[in-house]
Amino acid sequence: MCRSEANERLRRRLRPPRNDVSERAPGHNRLAIDATLATRDALRHTPAGVPAIDAVLMHRSEQREAGSLRRVECEIAAVAFGGIAETIARLPVGAEVRCEGFLARRWRTGLTLALHVDRIERLDSDT
């Protein structure tokens, strides 16, 4: 075996398999945010019959950045499916919630992001 073949065999042995996590994009994509349910659309169903809902979350807080407090206000587009969508459909606009989920494109071919909510907790009273 020539030297170049030996080097190639060694390189292949050291290279992780193609499905190895190290060759994929980083996998951590979680967001948790306390917000007000600013708007929500009517509950709809996907062509597969899965309940779905679009909403807008309004967040206001003070966050420490570079040693000082910064006032933060933002609106975040959100979408939910299944039982979480049905839960959001029952919430009144203005409800205080803690949402958790992951960020993904809002539309399959778009550039804007939406929080795909997979956990929601009501923070204010539910009366």
CB atoms within 10 A of CB 79: 19
Give residue-wise pLDDT tens across range 78-90: 999 999 999 999 9
**What's the chain's Rg over C-alpha atoms?**
22
State the fold for domain 26-122: OB fold (Dihydrolipoamide Acetyltransferase, E2P) (2.40.50)
The single-letter code of the amino acid at 96 is E
Tell me the pLDDT of the chain (127 aa) as tens digits.
Answer: 666 676 666 555 555 555 544 455 678 999 999 999 999 999 999 999 999 999 999 999 999 999 999 999 999 999 999 999 999 999 999 999 999 999 999 888 888 999 999 999 999 875 5
Q: What's residue 21's pLDDT?
A: 46
63 strand-pairing partners: 70
